[in-house]
Chain A
């Protein structure tokens, strides 16, 4: 384990809200930092709004489970926004064990003119107050406050890997390695268990849940992925406990291709519905796959992220990199998908043109307003001037978390402890 991966500043999740006005990041130290896009000024029409810090707060603290003698990390695993319903913003943030609902609200006025206290702030004897003074609201410097509104605790024996807000905006789910629970936002002291894959005898355990998400429009439908490379779609109308799936997505494997690494690299690290709700995208160690919900026996598209790592699997197993969990994202129109790789590279695939590009998020190569240059990894033989060879890749610089603005071509890329925001060049 490299030391650079232990500092609390490492970003562990990135998420735009539904309008793209806000961007939230969570880190290993349990903090949440929210950026807000500045309003485009009328004078500078061509200058796109930039993101500035809006609010920062400590969401989770480290805890110690005395009963099991284990440490509960404060690292934020996921953040999910609720759609905006009033002036305040709401988001869910979770660590391994506890989900919290945070309210982020602005205060730009303050009541002044109370005559209930004296100059030193001590409450005056009511008998001495002879006039009725109504306080007046006066403007003050904008203050952004984050308050925890709900704490959903003690529902997960294993480590929470996903949370997903339902399209009914009343419920959400949290998934750990073996179970998925359904919560109502108003109720914190109980949740419904909707998936339980824990075997009666733990010796028979063959797979774990790796990610889960609600369908964007159908509030009864959700999917979850497994460490064996399969995806199950469940319908909550069918039964209270969705242990039996409605659809089962698995690509058949050529048995002659099987190796020691097959199952490990087939483990799905992320699953995301398309905005349309018609497709799901999954990320395993070497590829990104797009599946049509109507076809369970194989994906409709497969994209190679970094196939050159196939000849490095031995060392990637030894340094644990083979277990890295990369996420994947759709753009707003579901035409482009993006995922991260090593050496601070990230990849984008255009589903229509079938073109792909590799870009790098690093300080040395990007100045503000500079255009990113495509990168290329050379596999063997002659290396061209701009290419980088597989053996020179830095495996400690991994891009696991990325986010795409819901409607514009703005992306947020987390490279260890740095956040990069890239925007499409304005013509």
Chain B
């Protein structure tokens, strides 16, 4: 069967295509996926999908209502993390740290917005000499 880039796909219009649906495992999988997510678009390789790939880590939509009280709605791009600003970023990092080290005392890194920071309060940069596990000689 000759297929070029210009060919369009016909779903179920031709008889032997329908026959193939029973044979092709991808088609069965596709049907499963569409049953779970009916709103899934026809063209996964299209613009939306690629845009998501390019925008890893970028913040989403912020909407400002007309009143003076600014309400921020940040749409999280599924699977990626988006931050409103550096303060948000620091708080998120601090939360992650707190989860992993429950024995740690009050988080000294959480300075944004709470009080006027001093040099001692600023978050320390990660030490450059943290040894990788591989350097312990665990080569198999």
Contacts and interface: CB of A to CB of B under 8 A. Distances in A.
Interface in B107-127: 125-126
A224 to B, nearest CB: 16
A202 B83 contact: no
Contacts of B88: 69
Given A51-B139, A71-B57, A259 B132 contact: no
A51 B134 CA distance: 12
A177 B53 CA distance: 9
A262 B27 CA distance: 10
B86 interface: yes
Nearest to A252: B3
Contact of A261 (B1, B3, B26, B137): B26
Contacts of A178: 54
A166 interface: no
Given A53-B134, A62-B126, A255 B7 contact: yes
Contacts of B59: 68-70
Interface stretch (A23-31, A84-92, A232-240, A269-277): A23-31
Interface stretch (A122-130, A203-211, A329-337): A203-211
B135 A255 contact: no
Interface of A: 1, 9, 11, 25, 27, 29, 31, 33, 35, 50-53, 56-58, 61-62, 64, 66, 68-73, 158-159, 177-178, 202-208, 227-228, 250, 252-264, 310-314, 317-318, 320, 361, 363, 366, 368, 417-421
Contacts of A11: 134
B126 A314 contact: no
A320 B79 contact: yes
- Leading 10 A-B pairs by shortest Cβ distance: A263-B45, A70-B57, A259-B26, A313-B29, A311-B25, A58-B128, A314-B29, A314-B32, A310-B25, A56-B135
B126 to A, nearest CB: 7
A254 B14 CA distance: 14
Nearest to A208: B50
Contact of A56 (B3, B86, B132, B140): B132
A208 B46 CA distance: 11
B16 interface: yes
B15 to A, nearest CB: 11
A328 to B, nearest CB: 21
Which of B14, B25, B28, B58 has its CB near the most chain A CB atoms (within 10 A)?
B25
B65 interface: no
B26 A310 contact: yes
Interface string B56-71: 1111000000000000
B33 A255 contact: no
Interface string B36-54: 1000100011110011011
Interface string B11-38: 0001011001000111111101110100
18 contacts: A33-B132, A52-B139, A53-B134, A58-B129, A69-B83, A159-B54, A178-B54, A204-B47, A252-B2, A252-B5, A256-B14, A261-B30, A263-B44, A263-B45, A313-B33, A314-B32, A418-B138, A418-B140
A261 B43 CA distance: 9
Contact of B29 (A31, A72, A228, A259): A259
Contact of B130 (A29, A207, A208, A260): A29
A227 B78 CA distance: 21
B133 A9 contact: yes
B53 A208 contact: yes
